[in-house]
Amino acid sequence: MKKISLSLIIGLFIFTLVAQESKKTFTLENVVQRNAFRAQSVYGLNSMANGRHYCSNKEGNIIVYGYKTGDLVDTLVRAANLIPEGSEDPINIRSYTLSKDEKKILIPTETESIYRWSSKSNFYIWDIDEHKLTALSDNGKQRLADFSPDGSKVAFVRENNIFISDLVNGKEIQLTTDGKDRFIINGTTDWVYEEEFGFTKGFFWAPDGNKIAFYRFDESEVVEYEMQLWGDLYPGMHKYKYPKAGEDNSLVSIHIYDLAGANIIPVDIGEETDQYIPRIKWTARPGVLS
């Protein structure tokens, strides 16, 4: 009984010392100013295809680490090398996407928000083997840029039309031509789909890279809403299509662009036009969309 009591007293004494020590270090200064208790995280993490490594953005450098050891394995690109032609300063990496073969990196810069989730950027491509930085397009900011499965092309949206940049020959190809602000949208979504379904990317490469399936929104008959914008000395006005309850929504259709034939094929979605299509996806069967 005495041994148990003595052990209990010693245990309580040690617990008290630890608690007192914890009280000394858990201060408002440590919590607020020094962030002493903030959890550590990895910024801009992307898992590599081999499953053994990951890369992350560290001060503008994209570095490869081992999952098992945490050791630095390789550096895909250094911030100092990301200087566009005609500039003296490197671009700022906030996010990036690796091609499937992990030989190229797609980097958005100078990003402007549009609505809640949508934005447009000037994209650059870093070729890891060639150590070369190239602008995706010189014809205006791009949206939703996405590598083809083989990494040889990048599809994107600009001014409601879909384009492809061929990274081999440097040519830019326009796939759709009828896109128009507040009338026709190709390859991205209208305000309703963005706000209610939470997505903006409206085009998808087929697994073989020979076709692109995409959404087309006809919002010609949707009632226009006008909103005042504050921030400058004189407020401005912003107009966009905003269907209220009982009013017409956009007419949504699905199409497939065939790269080989350079033609657009409409997808049969039935006769009903007053409907939502919250997602589309290529199946494992070649050319079959679900």
pLDDT band at 24 (very low <50, low <70, confident <90, very high): low
What is the model's pLDDT at position 33? 67
How high does pLDDT run on average in the chain? 90
pLDDT digits (tens, 9 = 90+) for 133-152: 999 999 999 999 999 999 99
What is residue 21's predicted lDDT score, i.e. its pLDDT? Answer: 47
Residue that wins the pLDDT comparison between 274 and 29: 274
Q: How far apart are CA 93 and CA 80, in angstroms?
A: 11
Q: How many CA atoms lie within 13 A of 183 on its CB side?
A: 7
Give DSSP secondary structure letters for 48-81.
Answer: -TTSSEEEEEETTEEEEEETTT--EEEEEE-GGG
Tens of pLDDT, residues 65-120: 999 999 999 999 999 999 998 898 999 999 999 999 999 999 999 999 999 999 99
What φ, ψ does residue 147 adopt, rounded to 5°?
Answer: -65, 145
Is the pLDDT at 194 greater than 70? The verdict is yes
- What 3-state class would DSSP assign to 235? coil
- Give mean pLDDT, residues 126-137: 96
Using the predicted structure, report yes or no on whether residue 20 has a pLDDT greater than 90: no
Please tell me the distance from the alpha carbon of residue 83 to that of residue 138, in angstroms, as a whole number: 16
Q: What is the pLDDT of residues 169-191, one digit of tens each?
A: 999 999 999 999 999 999 999 99
What domains are defined for the chain? 45-135 (no CATH), 144-290 (2.140.10.30)
Which amino acid appears at position 87 of this protein?
S
> Which of 172, 242, 160 is CA-nearest to residue 202?
160
Percent of the chain with pLDDT over 90: 76
Q: Give the residue with greater pLDDT, 229 vs 163.
A: 163
Instruction: Using pLDDT thresholds of 50, 70 and 90, give the confidence band for residue 28.
Output: confident
pLDDT of residue 16: 54
Tokens 């003296």 belong to residue: 88
pTM of the model: 0.85
> Residue 9 has what pLDDT?
53
Q: What is the pLDDT of residues 249-259, one digit of tens each?
A: 999 999 999 99
pLDDT at 10: 52
pLDDT > 50? residue 2: no
